[in-house]
Structure 1
Amino acid sequence: MTGPDVTTTSPIPEDAPRPEDMPRHGFLYGLYTGTGAFNIIGRRKFFFLLTAVLVAISIAGILVRGFTFGIDFAGGTRVELPAGQIEVTEAEEVFSEAIGISPTVTQVVGTGATASIQIRSEALDEPQIQTVQRALFDAFQPVDETGTPNINAISVSGVSETWGGQVTEKAIIALIVFLVLVCVYISLRFEWYMALAAIAAVIFDLTVTAGVYAIVGFEVSPATIIGLLTILGYSLYDTVVVFDKVQENTRGVLQTHRRTYAEQANLGVNQTLMRSFNTSLISILPIASLMIVAVWMLGVGTLKDLALVQLVGILVGTYSSIFFATPLLVWMKERTEEVREHSRLVLEKRAERNGVPRGAAVAVGGTPTAASATAETTGPAVSAESRVTAPDAQSSGRRGRAPSPGARPTGKRKR
């Protein structure tokens, strides 16, 4: 804006334009500039409700459908033979008739000449393995690399239940250690409330990702655990970036009466919004390539577990760091007496500057009532270039229209 330079510590000139007279910008402009155009914190009840719905659906999926654990976790025997012209149902029938045991999972892995059928069942002893191999060979006559029918073209591998239990135990320990280290780091780096909000966001990411896996029915393999720890680290990184900006904006906010803690936190989320979206988009591109090229085109079925958990984890992690972690942080901070009292004073002073009787503009928790709604703008800050916040611009007490740009102020300023 033109005219004298107005800083956040100098008095607001009487000819300062009102927020409603300033130019309004579109969605993309507000997203790119991060000037506080999106009232994310103010709509936290909606995001809390959405988060609760996602968690409820995920838990229901886990309880109803459960997980399909891979052979590395559940143990068992895996039989693999070249697919050729064999149908999956035919292979299952031959397997079941040979030993009287139904396979737990049967799938086609790979495409073209390299495609193979994998049949997984409970742990089989040596006589059962030999019976299955002979039955499959007699029924389908699989060939080896030379094109000659060979019973050795049917490979068999097994994992004991003890080994599967050890793998499961180590995966759980790794997850617990990760969460503990996250809590310690956030507590030392920021504060206890931020640590709680970050841990809640990580648990949300873990629950929703696990729920998607249960609903889709993908096999949980060691690659799934590796991908899960990877996306939890990504989600934590994104949350730390947002919290770092929130901490910068809210440092010393309780010593002033210009904005509330919630408004400053909302501005911090807006300032990191575009960065979070861009980072997520760049991260999704290689994962999408992995799913399209490796899984769909090349048919590498073992990679779909890793690709799915990373894709879902990045999307959920981006949502939780922006729309759940920071709103939860503000909700917890506003439960403290210090922040609640500060918000009440800010809103009362703001209401007095706009002619609202003292005490009529503040509700429980420092939330503005309808009496003070006319004194608020659509976001905590109107424009970074104006260097005038919404409350300060209205504190000038002017009710007429702002002068045109470049006009010199008339009359003397009030002291």
Structure 2
Amino acid sequence: MSKLGTLGHRLHRGEVSYDFVGKRKIWYGVSILITVVAIVGLVVNGLKLGIEFKGGAVFTTPKAPYSTSQVHDMIAGDTAGHPATIQKLGNGGLRIQVSDISTQTSKEVQGKIAKDLKLAPSKIDAEIVGPSWGKEISKKALQGLIIFLVLVVIYLAIAFEWRMAIAALVALLHDLTITTGVYAIVGFEVTPGTVIGLLTILGYSLYDTVVVFDGLKEATKDITKQNQRTYSELANRSLNGTLVRSINTTVVALLPVAALLFIGGGLLGAGVLNDIALALFVGLTAGAYSSIFIATPIVAELKEREPQMRSLRKRVLAKRKADAVKAKEAVARGEDPEEPSDALPGDDDGEVEDEAAATAGAGVVSPRGQNGTRPRTQPRGGGRGGRGRPSGRRR
């Protein structure tokens, strides 16, 4: 953990930097590949909708000495020709879902299941869900998603700018597509809890993106007043400065979600937790990835198309070329080339240069001598101070 903290400080100070923005085509390719796999899984397998969306019946039994596979074989042929989904509950009971059956048919199925499990019909609780209720849930969920995305775009366009709003929207759609695709591939049932999980992970993803954008906005303020770095370079520096913070936030959020999914749903058999836990786990992971590898590179790419940013890039490249020529000429004269200043206003490098210039006339060694360049000293009485001194031999 101490090493991670040290890395975070070094990233924030710019001592270590990973080129996220410069290698954006690689990240775009990875995201496109994952998204295509998710879409193919969604088209081939489709979403396994729960009875809340399709209608049907849920039968809950008391504690039973049977496994889910045994119950599946015992009730086979007694579910009115519809497949049954069986889950083991924490108290040892069973949750049996049968989709697309009417109220009258559900009573017949309830009696058959009770007989198969050697239970009295009154011991089995039956809950009937109509398909119209599921359609209403789907409609409301879609409306909520659309309203959420519209409000996000408006807020980001006002608080930041429209390019960041577009990048955030692309990142959110990226996370939503991957999460639904994973649901289709894994075959987990889509329930109202899944919808809640999807809306929740969009909020988490947006939070990470806003944190990165806030740092980017601060780093690129008055960017046209300098000629040391381009917008993409400043964006990459800002992203590195908030990298460890984003990772820590995501890891802390993933720990309880992973406990729900792998321990609660996997080891303890609480299958009712799987729907929301899987959505949160996949969505949080995809959200952290998109805020770092997708959102900021898209903003940088859009900003670099502006005339002001193009002009800035030309000035930066021209200055670097001139500095390289000066360094080459200095080497040809046998002098030690001074490193070109790469400091932005307020950086420590600029303060060191000012200090070196201020102490040059006082006979103090320039700090640059500590970095491998040749130290230079100046006479204490140099300059015009010697003109009034009488010449001749000492008395």
Paired position in structure 2 for 1:182: 152
Whole-angstrom CA distance in 2 between matches of 1:157 and 1:250 = 58
Letter of the 2:293 partner, please give it.
Answer: F
Whole-angstrom CA distance in 2 between matches of 1:195 and 1:294 = 37
- The partner residue of 1:109 within 88, 91, 114 is 88
- Asked if structure 2 preserves the Cα contact closer than 8 Å seen for 1:123 and 1:160, the reply is no
Gaps of 5+ in 2: 327-338, 352-367, 380-395
Matched, 1:122 2:100: yes
Paired position in structure 1 for 2:349: 387
Matched, 1:163 2:133: yes
Per-residue deviation, residues 277-319 of structure 1 (Å, max 9, x unmatched): 1111111122122234432344221111111111111111111
- Asked if structure 1 preserves the Cα contact closer than 8 Å seen for 2:38 and 2:178, the reply is yes
Paired position in structure 2 for 1:38: 18
- The partner residue of 1:269 within 239, 242, 253 is 239
Letter of the 1:238 partner, please give it.
Answer: D
- The partner residue of 2:110 within 133, 138, 157 is 133
Shift of 1:140: 1.9
TM-score (norm 2): 0.79
Matched, 1:65 2:52: no
Whole-angstrom CA distance in 2 between matches of 1:236 and 1:335 = 25
Q: 1:292 to 1:208 in 2, by over 3 A?
A: closer
Letter of the 2:106 partner, please give it.
Answer: I
Q: 1:100 to 1:133 in 2, by over 3 A?
A: closer
Q: 1:355 to 1:299 in 2, by over 3 A?
A: same
- The partner residue of 1:278 within 224, 233, 248 is 248
Q: 1:228 to 1:76 in 2, by over 3 A?
A: same
Shift of 1:91: 4.0
- Asked if structure 2 preserves the Cα contact closer than 8 Å seen for 1:239 and 1:325, the reply is yes
* Structure (1/2) with the larger helix percentage: 2
Q: Which moved more, 1:207-216 or 1:331-340?
A: 331-340
Q: More relative contact order in 1 or in 2 (CA 8 Å, sep 6+)?
A: 1
Letter of the 1:231 partner, please give it.
Answer: I
Query: Once the two structures are aligned, what percentage of the paired residues are identical?
Result: 36
- Asked if structure 2 preserves the Cα contact closer than 8 Å seen for 1:198 and 1:325, the reply is yes
SS of the residue corresponding to residue 101 of structure 1 reads: coil
Whole-angstrom CA distance in 2 between matches of 1:222 and 1:290 = 17
Whole-angstrom CA distance in 2 between matches of 1:345 and 1:172 = 48
Whole-angstrom CA distance in 2 between matches of 1:253 and 1:333 = 12
Per-residue deviation, residues 170-194 of structure 1 (Å, max 9, x unmatched): 0000000000010010011000101
Shift of 1:381: 7.7
Paired position in structure 2 for 1:242: 212
The CA RMSD over aligned residues, in Å, is 3.1
Whole-angstrom CA distance in 2 between matches of 1:287 and 1:58 = 22
Question: Aligned pair count?
Answer: 347
Whole-angstrom CA distance in 1 between matches of 2:318 and 2:5 = 33
Whole-angstrom CA distance in 1 between matches of 2:248 and 2:322 = 42
Larger radius of gyration: 2
Per-residue deviation, residues 250-301 of structure 1 (Å, max 9, x unmatched): 1111232121111111111011111101111111122122234432344221
